[in-house]
Amino acid sequence: MSAEPQPARRPGGRTRLISKRLWAATLEILAEKGVDGLQYEDLAARAQVARATVYRRWPNRGDLFRDILARFAEAFVPLHDSGDIHDDLVAFVYAFAEASATPEGRAVLQILMRKADESDGLREVALELLERRTDDLQRRLDAAAALGQLPAVDARFVNMMLAGPVQWFLVRRTRPFTRDDADKVVGVVLAGLRHGDAV
């Protein structure tokens, strides 16, 4: 940033302002046009910065997409262990729904839908991110199993059963996904895991 004019006057102030404007422009474009609409020219124009500034921040679109994924990950809440597996999963599912309904969340889904070879390994970054969440979930499910609250279950399967319906709902977006919706999804899946014999 030493090439920026008057860098010492408000230390970090101008950088922060530019960051803020660039991020606002990114979210605006994501909401309007999706991942494929993210063009540096448009970003620079909307954020009212030079195109070189955009390139300095994100030397290539892969860097920009990685930032979007990181923001999506930040919106997740940690998976708690309150002792009540139902409540903990409702919080987990609801937080996922909230994060997925944002422009970043929709962008992640669009990235996952692209062909692997056109995404600079981004699909893999997104999948790794979800994989880490699956590890958290496995620990929580194992703790519940150790207490006899559930049979031993595979977190990847359970995550598909919980997050799949949320994604299905959000893609159709006739109304927001509520905590009550999360409660119903978790209720059916937990009862099914306890009483089904197919898993």
Residues of this chain that interact with a copy of itself (CB under 8 A) are 32, 34, 36, 106, 109-110, 112-115, 127, 130, 157, 160-161, 163-169, 171-172, 183-199
Query: By C-beta, is 4 or 124 nearer to a copy of itself?
Result: 124
Rounded to a whole number of angstroms, the minimum distance from the CB of residue 27 to a copy of itself is: 15
Query: By C-beta, is 64 or 105 nearer to a copy of itself?
Result: 105
Query: By C-beta, is 47 or 161 nearer to a copy of itself?
Result: 161
Tokens of 41: 């020219």
Integer Cα distance of 138 and 89 in angstroms = 12
Rounded to a whole number of angstroms, the minimum distance from the CB of residue 101 to a copy of itself is: 13
Rounded to a whole number of angstroms, the minimum distance from the CB of residue 131 to a copy of itself is: 10
Rounded to a whole number of angstroms, the minimum distance from the CB of residue 105 to a copy of itself is: 11
Query: By C-beta, is 53 or 94 nearer to a copy of itself?
Result: 94
Rounded to a whole number of angstroms, the minimum distance from the CB of residue 46 to a copy of itself is: 18
Integer Cα distance of 21 and 153 in angstroms = 45
Which secondary structure element, helix H or strand E, spans residue 139, and what is its range?
helix 122-146
Quote the longest CA-to-CA distance of the chain.
68
Tokens of 183: 């409660």
Q: What is the CA 185 to chain-centroid distance, rounded? A: 20
Query: By C-beta, is 57 or 140 nearer to a copy of itself?
Result: 140
- Scanning 34-84, the segments in alpha helix (DSSP H) are 40-47, 51-57, 61-74
Q: What is the CA 123 to chain-centroid distance, rounded? A: 13
